[in-house]
A and B are shown apart, each in its own frame.
Chain A
C-alpha cells in the first residue's frame, strides 16, 4: 500500500508517492490528485520512491493529465521517476509517440516515457 503525501511548494503542489502504487491505493490517489489539481496551478508527481505501478494507477495519472488540460493547469512528472514506471508503461501498452488529442497541443502524459 502506498503512502501519499502532498507537499506544498511555492509555485506547485508536489504529490509524493512511496511504495506500491496499485489498485489498493487507487481511491486515495484519485482524491489526492483531485485535491492538488483543485488547489494548485501546477502539480508535480514525485514517484521516485514507488516500488510498483499497476494499470489502475496508470489510468489515474492519465485521467489527472486530462483533467489538468481541461482546466488549463499543469501536471508533470518529476524527472527521477523509477524504471518500474517505465516498465509498467511499456507492459500495459501505454508508450506513445503521438499526442493524445490533435487539438490539445499539450502532448501526451506518456509521450517519451
Chain B
C-alpha cells in the first residue's frame, strides 16, 4: 500500500466523514419532505451542511466549502423560520447534496456550471424580506453556538401594575440554558415608605445559551420599553478558555465597573480575600461582590461541562477502521480456528493431561475471539434501507407514480460483506417493484386501491439467517403470462406441470421479462437472473409469493456471515463433508434392512413421520459400500424435513469457509470448503441445492415412468 502523507490521510478521513454526512443529509431531507415543520430535521440538515462546509474548508476542499456555504445559508433561513420548507427546496437541496458528492468523487473536474444550475434557482427561493434582513452567518450571537451573556435587567417600577411578573421572565430565560440570576435589593425602602405594588428589585443574570442573542432579547420583548436592559457577551463563541475559567473576582468587578483598578491595587497585598477587603473598605457592596462570585462560579460550571464534553469527544465510543483490516483479521481468526482444531486433535491423540487442558483453553479463547471478530463485522442493514428511500422517490417521480417506501427492522445486523453485496440485487428488486408491480395512480384508483402505492422492506433474524422481504401492493405476478412467456422462450414445454411457486421462480431465469415495454428502469430481463446469481453467491435463496391484484412478496434468505459457520462434520468413506449446523434438526440411524424394506424409495419413518432422504454416497458417486447402520442427518429446507444419508457423524466443527477455486464454481450442491485439523479438506454441502437437484431428478424419473406407462398402455 502506498504510504499516505498526513494531509492525504486527513483528506481521506474528511471524505469518509463527508460521505456519511451526505447520507444523513439525504435521510433528513427525505423525512423533512414528509414533515416540513419538523425543527429537529431542519437542524439536522443544517448541521450536516455546516460540518461539510467547515471541515471542507479546513482540509482544502475549497470548492465544496464554497458551494455548501451557499446551501447552508439558505437552510439557515429555514432554520430561523424566515423561509418555508417546500418541495422545490427539498428537490434543490437533494440535487445540491448529489453535487457535493460529485465534488468529493471527482475533485479535479470543473463543476462550476453544474453548481450554478443548482444555486441560481436555490437563491430564487429565498424570500426578499429574508434576504434583506441578512442571513447573519457566523455573526456573533448567532443561534447554534453556545454563548454566555451577562444581562443587567432593571424593570420599570410600575411593572407589577402592568400585570407583568418579572420572575416569569427569569424562568423563561432559564429555559434557554444554564442561568444564574442575582437580585439586587438595595433599592427596597423601609416599610413606612414602601409602595407594595412597586418593583424595587433589579437583577444581574448570567446565561449560557446556544439560542442566540435574539432569543434572549425576545424574553424581554414586552418590557423592553419600560426597563433598563443591558445584554453583554462575556466571551466569544461560548468557549471558555483557561483565561475565562480562572478569572479573578477582582477582574470581574473591574470589568463590571464596580471598582477601579486603583481601588483594587489599594487593597491588594493584604493576605485576605479581595471581596472581603473591598466590602470592608466600603468600596463595593456585598451584593456586587456576590454577583462577581456568581459570575465566576457560572463560568467555572460551564467550563467544567465543556471539559466533560471535550473529554467525551476525545474518547469516542467508536473508532473508524479500514474494512481491509477487518477482512485480514477475519482471515487470521480463520487460520487460528484451523490451527486450534489441529491442536485439539493432537492433544486428544497424545492424551497428555497438560496438553489437553491447554488445548481446551485455546479452544475456548478461539471461540470467543471468533465471536468477537464476527460481531465487529456485523452492521445494521438500515444504512442500505435508507439509500433506497431516495431511489424510490426519484424513480416513482420519473415514472409518474406515487409510491411510499416503508421499512422495518433496520437495526437487523448482517455481515458487512453480505450487506455490501446485497445492494445491487436489492436495487434491481425495488426497481422492478416500482416499474412492473405498482400500477400508475389512475389504474390503482380504478381498481379501488389507494392511489399511492407501497413498497415495504423488512429484515429480521431467523436462526443463522436473515430474512429480507420486499413487499409491494401492486398488481401481483400473472402466473399465466409468466408460463406463456416461459414456453415462448423455451424454458419449459407446454406439457410441463409446474406449481405456482415454480412458475414464479421462472422469472429468475436469464433473459426473462414479461414487460411489454422496456424502460430505462427495468424490463430488459437482465435484472432478475443477476439478482438470483448475486443471492446464490451469498449462499442465500429467493422466495417469491404473489397474489394477483394484491401484491408480491419477495423473500431473500441470507446467511448471517460468509466467513465462519458452525458446521456438522460427517464422513462418507474417506471423504469428509460439512453441513451448516443451523439447518440440522436431528440425526437418526438407518439400518440396511430398513432401507431395503422401503422398496427402493428413499423414505424413512422417523417417529411416525415420513422423511425423504438423499443418499450422498450415490449423489457424489463415492465408491464402496456404506456401513451396516448409516446415519441420516435431518435438515430443515424451506419448511420441509429432508434427510442426508452419511456413513457417520463426526461432530460439530468450527467451519472456516474457503471458497472453491474457479474451476469448481459450477459444481452443484457444494458451497465451499474448509480445512480440518489434520489438513484434510472437507466440502461444505449446499443443502438447498442438493434438495432441488434431488427433487428435479425425482420429477424426471416420475415423468419417465409415466411416459413408459402410457407407452405400455398404447401397446396394449
Contacts and interface: CB of A to CB of B under 8 A. Distances in A.
A7 interface: no
B191 A64 contact: yes
Interface stretch (B141-149, B215-223, B280-288, B676-684): B280-288
A93 B279 CA distance: 21
Interface string A51-63: 0001110111011
Contacts of A99: 286
A66 B188 contact: yes
B67 interface: no
Given A34-B192, A55-B199, A67-B191, A102 B170 contact: no
Contacts of B175: none
B189 interface: yes
Interface in B267-289: 279-280, 282, 285-287, 289
B166 interface: yes
A100 interface: yes
A55 B165 contact: yes
Query: Chain B interface secondary structure, helix, strand, loop or mixed?
Result: mixed
Contacts of B290: 96-98
A45 B144 CA distance: 47
A56 B197 contact: yes
A63 B282 contact: no
Interface in A66-113: 66-67, 70, 88, 91-94, 96-102
A23 B198 CA distance: 10
B512 interface: no
Interface stretch (B179-187, B515-523, B534-542, B551-559): B179-187
Nearest to A29: B196
A63 B191 contact: yes
Interface string A21-44: 001001101100110010000000
A62 B190 contact: no
A55 B166 contact: yes
Interface in B182-230: 182-183, 185-186, 188-192, 194, 196-197, 199-201, 203, 205
Interface residues on A, range: 20 to 34
B664 interface: no
A63 B183 CA distance: 14
Contacts of B285: 101-102
A16 B604 CA distance: 95
Nearest to A25: B196
B286 A100 contact: yes
Contact of B188 (A29, A63, A102): A63
B191 A59 contact: no
Contacts of A92: 166-167, 170, 181, 183, 201
Q: Which of A34, A56, A59, A60 has the most CB of B within 10 A?
A: A59
A94 B170 CA distance: 12
B166 A63 contact: no
Interface of A: 23, 26-27, 29-30, 33-34, 37, 54-56, 58-60, 62-64, 66-67, 70, 88, 91-94, 96-102
Interface of B: 160, 165-167, 170-171, 181-183, 185-186, 188-192, 194, 196-197, 199-201, 203, 205, 279-280, 282, 285-287, 289-290, 293
22 contacts: A23-B160, A26-B197, A55-B199, A55-B201, A56-B196, A59-B199, A59-B201, A60-B194, A60-B196, A62-B188, A63-B191, A67-B191, A70-B190, A91-B167, A92-B183, A94-B185, A98-B279, A98-B286, A98-B289, A101-B286, A102-B280, A102-B285
